[in-house]
Structure 1
Amino acid sequence: MKFNWGTGIVIGIAAFMIFILQYVIRVQMYARYDNELVTEQYYQKEAEINGNRLKQENAVDLGENLYVKTTEKGIEVFFPEHFNATEINGRVSLYRPSNQAFDQTIPLELTSNHLLIPKSRLVDGRWDITIDFTYKNTAYLKQQILVL
């Protein structure tokens, strides 16, 4: 058989098709390439987004009194000093975009206006933190992206 440019093009196209097919099969079969949804209840989450706008405005009104920072100890959340810590109810959600297995939800049971999430509970990288709480029948929501 004579090898010419037409045969080369056909072999090149076939090799490219085999490469693409093996890549697609690998992505679908191996857990390492898992392509999961951000959340299983995405329709419900979309409806919640509209209701969260008022909560976020309330949190913005608190200004610098409600803030989150990363330290060597972990993630520290500071609530306003004029709030009575025992009347703060809610939760802190930690979302890890790269791996759903690391997501955490921590209920707020405070004795002071400071919450420490130890670094031993977290892995390095990006975290999306959501602080959703109520104080004296007023709802607050703060969302922030942190990198450890």
Structure 2
Amino acid sequence: MKINWGTGIVIAFALFMTFILYFVFEVQSNSKYDNDLVVEEYYKHDSHFQEEMARIQNAHDLQQKPSITYKNTEGVKIAFPATFESDKIKGNVLLYRPSNKKFDFNTSIALTNSALVIPQNKLIKGRWDINMEWQYAGKKYLTKEVIYVN
């Protein structure tokens, strides 16, 4: 049987579609390919976007801002300026791991000498997004930072 060029094109398209569908089903059914959303309740989170931008602007407008640094020996150090009264700072720090949400964790802000230290043993190598939501003197702030752990 001789195959003309029209039949060849149809066969090529059918093989290509089969190839693509195989990979789509493989990724959806195999548990090693994690395809979770970044945020669980995406639309609920998005509805508070303007409020979040206002808190980021509040943090940006500060004369002296808190600093977030990473050191191999200590871990992540969040230092507030000495002008802030440590006992009046409330809030929490979310360490978010973009590659795997299983490593995400939240910690309350409890300052010692105007600083909060997150120990090295809680962090694995790679990128971490830090979202620090805090409040001082009745005003809300949001500080976002990206660090890389070696």
Same fold (TM over 0.5): yes
Q: SS state of the match for residue 116, structure 1?
A: strand
Deviation readout 1:89-114 (Å, 9 max, x if unpaired): 10001111121111111111223211
Amino acid at match of 1:103: D
Give the Cα–Cα distance (whole angstroms) in 2 for the partners of residues 134 and 127 of structure 1: 22
Deviation readout 1:33-52 (Å, 9 max, x if unpaired): 22111112122211222112
Q: SS state of the match for residue 32, structure 2?
A: helix
Query: Residue 144 in 1 paired to residue 138 in 2?
Result: no
TM-score (norm 1): 0.86
Name structure 2 gaps, 5 residues minimum. Answer: none
Q: Which residue of 2 aligns with 1:92?
A: 93
Where is the helix percentage greater, Structure 1 or Structure 2?
A: 1
Name structure 1 gaps, 5 residues minimum. Answer: none
- Mapping of residues 1-148 of structure 1, within 5 Å: 1-2=1-2, 5=5, 8-72=8-72, 73-148=74-149
CA contact (8 A) 1:86 1:111 kept: no
Give the Cα–Cα distance (whole angstroms) in 2 for the partners of residues 27 and 113 of structure 1: 47
Deviation at 1:68, TM superposition (A): 0.9
Deviation at 1:7, TM superposition (A): 5.5
**How many residues are paired up?**
148
Give the Cα–Cα distance (whole angstroms) in 2 for the partners of residues 21 and 145 of structure 1: 37
